[in-house]
A = this chain, B = another copy of it.
């Protein structure tokens, strides 16, 4: 019978008691301004705030309303990796811009060892945005919740998605690169082309694999350009970088430059990879772009500042997040393909 909690946290009921009104009235003050006089409402709000009550408890409120005003974003890798990835950051910028506008909160989810641990939290958000290729099990589990979902850079049947035309963008930049030299010997530094945690070259079997992953689309785009120029790329000229980081990219780049292929065109599936390739080339005594042309994909901010500056494909990454969030919040669930732009800079201009 003792009072366990000396100071029990103030709740809506407590506020109602202290102000001598009913709980319904306080609730209405917060949620339905039209249900009470303006005077009373303002008095309640200011008094409540003075008492230290700043709004209904989220857990209770969303339990009751079946809505939390929280949006979940599922990042396709660990949070730690995602925050280090410029692309993910730009995308999150776009999402958050819209969420701020709509007064929604952002709950971040991630792929982890134990993906059941967070499944409890999956019940909270009113909707989800998936960024990148998610774990299929997790993806299905969340979609099965029946809440609105949008994917970014990840295509799944019946789920609205936001992305770019990776194949044609890849073709575009490859065409440009090939046009810059007389005799092109092409190598590709791709991203996550095969399932492995290590840098590795592809084999013929890998090429035959069908997949809708964006990396595959980019690969097809490169092939389109190569074929159109009567060139070929054997699988040994294609590297798969497991993570979009400088470290892994350098390993791949070093292998490419040390190989007997002597490529003079390196098509990279990300700017991070391309920048690492430039730096690797330079440290091996190669001149970019005179000895080797290197192009990227994404147009991250470093691309412009690098030396030589990087030729790449500009994709409106923040816009992706913005569009996805808007689709979710305005319940306008449809597919959206954003435009890309070829940005020619020094790394592909040997004649200057």
Question: Among B79, B117, B122, B305, which residue has its beta carbon within 8 angstroms of that of A302?
Answer: B305
A78 interface residue (CB < 8 Å to B): yes
A103-147 CB mask vs B (1 if < 8 Å, else 0) is 101111110101011111111100000000000000001001110
A87-111 CB mask vs B (1 if < 8 Å, else 0) is 0011011001101100101111110
Question: Among B60, B79, B141, B307, which residue has its beta carbon within 8 angstroms of that of A54?
Answer: B141
On whether A69 and B100 interact (CB within 8 A), knowing A92-B83, A108-B105, the answer reads: no
CB of B52 within 8 A of CB of A144, answer yes
Q: List 26 A-B contacts (CB under 8 A).
A: A9-B146, A52-B144, A54-B116, A54-B119, A55-B122, A57-B123, A58-B120, A58-B121, A58-B122, A60-B63, A69-B120, A70-B121, A80-B100, A83-B90, A83-B93, A83-B96, A84-B90, A100-B112, A105-B118, A106-B108, A107-B107, A107-B108, A246-B301, A275-B305, A301-B302, A305-B305
CB neighbours of A122 from chain B (8 A): 54-55, 58
CB neighbours of A62 from chain B (8 A): 59
CB of A89 within 8 A of CB of B97, answer no
A61 interface residue (CB < 8 Å to B): yes
CB neighbours of A105 from chain B (8 A): 107-109, 118, 121
A287 interface residue (CB < 8 Å to B): no
A60-B58 Cα distance, complex, nearest whole Å? 10
A306 interface residue (CB < 8 Å to B): yes
A23 interface residue (CB < 8 Å to B): no
CB of B63 within 8 A of CB of A59, answer yes
CB neighbours of A69 from chain B (8 A): 120-121
A56 interface residue (CB < 8 Å to B): yes
CB of B110 within 8 A of CB of A100, answer yes
On whether A59 and B108 interact (CB within 8 A), knowing A83-B90, A96-B83, the answer reads: no
Residue of B nearest to A11 (CB): B123
Question: Among B59, B117, B144, which residue has its beta carbon within 8 angstroms of that of A123?
Answer: B59
User: Closest Cβ of chain B: how far from A34's Cβ, in Å?
Assistant: 19
Interface residues in A, total, Cβ within 8 A? 58
On whether A114 and B110 interact (CB within 8 A), knowing A89-B83, A96-B78, the answer reads: no
A108-B122 Cα distance, complex, nearest whole Å? 16
A244 interface residue (CB < 8 Å to B): no
CB of B121 within 8 A of CB of A93, answer no
A279 interface residue (CB < 8 Å to B): yes
CB neighbours of A60 from chain B (8 A): 59, 63
A297-B121 Cα distance, complex, nearest whole Å? 38
* B-contacting residues, A284-330, CB 8 Å: 301-302, 305-307
CB of B96 within 8 A of CB of A79, answer yes
A68 interface residue (CB < 8 Å to B): yes
Question: Among B103, B107, B114, B301, which residue has its beta carbon within 8 angstroms of that of A70?
Answer: B107
A302-B109 Cα distance, complex, nearest whole Å? 28
On whether A68 and B79 interact (CB within 8 A), knowing A112-B100, A118-B103, the answer reads: no
List of 10 A-B pairs having minimum Cβ-Cβ separation, nearest first: A79-B96, A55-B120, A54-B119, A59-B63, A103-B117, A83-B93, A307-B307, A58-B124, A57-B123, A55-B119
A122-B80 Cα distance, complex, nearest whole Å? 24
